[in-house]
Structure 1
Amino acid sequence: MRNSTYSESRLTPHSPAMDFSDTAHGREALDEEAIAWFVRLRDEGTTHEEIVAWKSWMKEDPRHVRAWQETLQLWQGLEPGHISRGTPLSTNRRRWQARKLLLSAAAILILLTGTTCISLLHHPGGLGCLTASHCTSAGETRQVQLEDGSLVTLGAASALRVHYDSGKRLVHLRHGEAYFDVQHDPLRPFEVQASQGSVRVVGTSFNLRLKPQGAQVSVASGKVELSTHGQQLELTTGQSAQYTGAHLSRLPESDPATIGLWRQERLLFQSTPLGEVLRDLDRYHPARILVDPAVASMPVSGIFSTRNPEAALETIINSLALRETRFGNLIIRIAPAG
């Protein structure tokens, strides 16, 4: 399916006189207009007149404000509407208020500094780098040796914070994915915190990947203890599990040799929902990839090279007969072909 591209000369959004109904087509048009504004305001050549025009567009219709906020949320990978079971509503409100402040600050920085912020905001892991011990950019992987000899292979667009003391070895995966080869030390258990759960080991090799509202753990060798919201699960070689909010569940066993296959520059998917596939591919692609919820659950199977994420994306779009819309070099939106 052929794509549509917003070239540099077409990045200015539609005329303010346009009226959008509450149809699916109208909402999609609004989304695309908000994205076009977002791309335009990130350009270092943005003029004062364009900023004034954007402000006028925002004031015209509450739907413009909602579309703009949703664009920012998609850019940061946030899901404000989700309330985890067992989490006090007031706590969620405070977290969301803090996230809104972060988004507002990011938007102000974009307007003030143009492309200066692109390295931080281009991928969700970018802001995590500000407080991380180690981080990677889109398409980059890196091997880090910790002070105890443990090795961490950090995936693309990922961020990791390390805190060691005499009694514990604590690591926080703030974004992305990492493969851990942990040195045995029974006196200092190794713990990785990720989202709302943690993985505790003494000595083992395992892969940990953050997902929306949770994480997935796969054990290549040894044994780990996975915990979240008071629930615990023990995993051994070849076993995997995931937690989403307060829900902890086992996944089908897999060949240990395929765990962490991304370290060999390959991504393996077996009937994986398109939304999850594109979230993985997004960390290797120079642009942000956004997926329409209408196609996010479509299954994808295959092995793709992380060296050429553009070819992988093209293969997926053609095989599923989807449509892509590109906003400059910053955003790719995947939607149904119709």
Structure 2
Amino acid sequence: MNVQDEVEEFQPSNAAEWFLVLRDDPDDAGLRARFELWLREKPERQREWAQIAHTMSVLRRVEPIQDTTSPVVLKYRAKGVRRRVVASLSFTAAAAVAGLIWGPDVLLCLRADHVTGRAETRTIALGDGTQIIMAPESALDTDDTKGQREVRLLKGEALFTVTHDAVHPFRVKAGSLTITDVGTVFDVKAGGAADVAVREGCVSIAHVASHDAPVLLNAGQVFQIKAGKGVTTTIAPQEVGLWAQGLYVAHSQPVSEVVGVLGHYMRGTVLVHGHGLGAETVSGLYKLSDARSALQTLADGQNARVWNVTSWLTILNR
């Protein structure tokens, strides 16, 4: 089937889809005429097309450097791209492009002993036998001086399998939380929605902003900060840190949230486009070790399409 047959079978319904079919057959006068007619029908389509076209023009200024052992690093093809991007793109597009170009925060990298990039996990073995598995786009600072077994999760997520030592307790600091091991396997997320989940054993959690006594968390429990207060919920213990085994379970979660998780395991940026698509809820088991196929499975279930604009930009739309 040629491009023309595909176009007649599939009629683009939004700017992202039109961009892709026009890119595949730029010299088709009939296709261009249908696009112009579609564009003139509604003013919001013109605004949507302007944003898509401008975003793509900025992305074309960036040249990917392929590396089989580390996440893709991008360099500038011309000076002044950063200033033009921030000044001219909408907030959403600018945020996506900025994350693609600059990657992990430079100051964060300077503070961390260990940093992972997009689509990268890393296992760290500490001197006491404790094992830490870092999720993609995470930053970790360790301190084992003077008998202090302390780790600061500055960004992202990590799974800890701790060698217990009652004399020298193992602590993890993540934002306002201090997690103290009581002989366990537990998962910690840092950031605005910091939380702790226990797979085995138990941990003690102190919240800096709270005057309450530390919370004792057992296997199958999750501690989260919501509206400044600590909330404890339950989870199947075997699901804690499942990402370290290359799997992700979604329980009635928004499409945008699931795509956000899958995006950490894919090279480049993944965007959700389409009225209401990001807010729809899904449940399922997704294979992070093949996140691109997992994204296609998600798309099939929502009657959506996965558009691979480039090797480092993917759009899920409907």
TM-score over 0.5 for the pair: yes
Quote the residue 1:33 is aligned against.
Answer: 53
Gaps of 5+ in 1: 11-18, 78-105, 111-119
Give the deviation of 1:73 after TM superposition: 2.5
Quote the residue 2:92 is aligned against.
Answer: 70
Summarize deviations over 1:227-266 as a string: whole Å, max 9, x none.
4452353311111122256243223x22222211122221
Of 240, 256, 262, 1:275 maps to 256
Quote the residue 1:291 is aligned against.
Answer: 272
- 1:218 and 2:241 matched: no
Higher RCO by CA contacts (8 Å cutoff, separation 6 or greater): 1
Quote the residue 1:235 is aligned against.
Answer: 217
The structure whose Rg is larger is 2
Paired letter, 1:70: T
- 1:143 and 2:118 matched: no
1: CA distance, partners of 2:218 / 2:206? 14
Q: Output the TM-score relative to the length of structure 2.
A: 0.71
1: CA distance, partners of 2:142 / 2:115? 11
Summarize deviations over 1:206-246 as a string: whole Å, max 9, x none.
012345x1223210112223344523533111111222562
Give the deviation of 1:30 after TM superposition: 4.5
Summarize deviations over 1:37-92 as a string: whole Å, max 9, x none.
331222279766xx78x79987xxx9x6351x433434567xxxxxxxxxxxxxxx
Distance change >3 Å, CA 236–CA 47, structure 1 → 2: closer
**Does structure 1 conserve the Cα–Cα contact (< 8 Å) formed by 2:159 and 2:241?**
yes
- Say which SS state the counterpart of residue 312 (structure 1) adopts: helix
Quote the residue 1:333 is aligned against.
Answer: 315
**Does structure 1 conserve the Cα–Cα contact (< 8 Å) formed by 2:140 and 2:151?**
yes
- Say which SS state the counterpart of residue 146 (structure 2) adopts: coil
Quote the residue 1:152 is aligned against.
Answer: 132
Distance change >3 Å, CA 181–CA 57, structure 1 → 2: closer
2: CA distance, partners of 1:196 / 1:27? 42
**Does structure 2 conserve the Cα–Cα contact (< 8 Å) formed by 1:34 and 1:71?**
no
Quote the residue 1:187 is aligned against.
Answer: 167
Distance change >3 Å, CA 273–CA 328, structure 1 → 2: same
* Structure 1, 230-239 or 289-298: larger mean CA deviation: 289-298
- 1:176 and 2:156 matched: yes
Q: Output the TM-score relative to the length of structure 1.
A: 0.67
2: CA distance, partners of 1:210 / 1:25? 38
1: CA distance, partners of 2:231 / 2:133? 25
Matches within 5 A, 1:25-174: 25=45, 28-43=48-63, 65=88, 67=90, 69-75=91-97, 121=103, 124=104, 128-166=108-146, 168-174=148-154
* Structure 1, 320-329 or 143-152: larger mean CA deviation: 320-329
**Does structure 1 conserve the Cα–Cα contact (< 8 Å) formed by 2:201 and 2:218?**
yes
- Say which SS state the counterpart of residue 133 (structure 2) adopts: strand
**Does structure 1 conserve the Cα–Cα contact (< 8 Å) formed by 2:296 and 2:306?**
no
Quote the residue 2:288 is aligned against.
Answer: 306
Give the deviation of 1:317 after TM superposition: 1.3
Of 284, 291, 297, 1:315 maps to 297
- Say which SS state the counterpart of residue 214 (structure 1) adopts: coil
2: CA distance, partners of 1:195 / 1:27? 39
1: CA distance, partners of 2:196 / 2:83? 47
Give the deviation of 1:204 after TM superposition: 1.6
Distance change >3 Å, CA 186–CA 319, structure 1 → 2: same
2: CA distance, partners of 1:181 / 1:125? 27
Distance change >3 Å, CA 202–CA 271, structure 1 → 2: same
Paired letter, 1:154: M
Quote the residue 1:197 is aligned against.
Answer: 177
Summarize deviations over 1:156-208 as a string: whole Å, max 9, x none.
33221112232532212233321101121233332222244332324321012
Gaps of 5+ in 2: 1-9, 25-38, 65-74
